[in-house]
Amino acid sequence: MVTSKEKSRSIVAMGLGVGKEGLTVVEGIAGLGRVVQHRSKVIGCVLCLKRLKDALKAWNKDIFGNVFDNICLAENRVDDEELRFQSDPSEECHESLHQAQVELLLAFKK
């Protein structure tokens, strides 16, 4: 007669793949350990990717900032320097205008 304890062991053993292809209970438990270990590696990888995503977002914001705001600021600076150069066409104003235009081109390339 099969006791309930033996019945539950056999159900657990079947869940571990015991009895299929001649596996023993020990081999089935070792297989369960590999499954748990694999799952923890996957969870660790997911957490690592989440940290990488957060780090890349912060790096992107630090390096590039808001690209559209940067372009708008550069355009406004070029407009201001053009007005300044029209009122005072000196070499200094011309260089400032040229520098503002270069910064605008660089803002477009980011």
pLDDT above 90: percentage of residues in the chain: 42
Looking at the structure, do residues 17 and 56 belong to the same domain, yes or no?
yes
Q: For residue 12, what pLDDT is reported?
A: 47
| Cα separation, 89 vs 105, whole angstroms | 22
Q: Are residues 55 and 42 in the same domain?
A: yes
Q: Which pLDDT score, from 0 to 100, does residue 28 have?
A: 60
Q: Looking at the structure, do residues 82 and 53 belong to the same domain, yes or no?
A: no
Residues spanned by the domain of 92:
65-110
For the segment 67-100, what is each residue's pLDDT rounded down to a tens digit?
Answer: 888 899 999 999 999 999 999 999 999 999 999 9
Is there a single domain that holds both residue 55 and residue 38?
Answer: yes
Phi, psi of 21 (to 5 degrees): 55, 30
The mean pLDDT of 51-66, rounded to a whole number, is 89
Q: How far apart are CA 15 and CA 18, in angstroms?
A: 7
pLDDT confidence tier of residue 110, bands split at 50, 70 and 90: confident
Residues 57 and 4 in one domain: yes
Same domain, 52 and 71: no
Q: What is the mean pLDDT of residues 16-42?
A: 61
Same domain, 35 and 75: no
Q: Which amino acid is at 46?
A: V
**Residue 37 CB neighbours (<10 A):** 10
Number of folded domains in the chain?
Answer: 2
33-38-39-40 Cα dihedral, nearest 10 degrees: 90
Average pLDDT, integer, range 18-22? 50
Q: Is residue 33 pLDDT above 80, yes or no? A: no
Residue 62 has pLDDT above 70, yes or no: yes
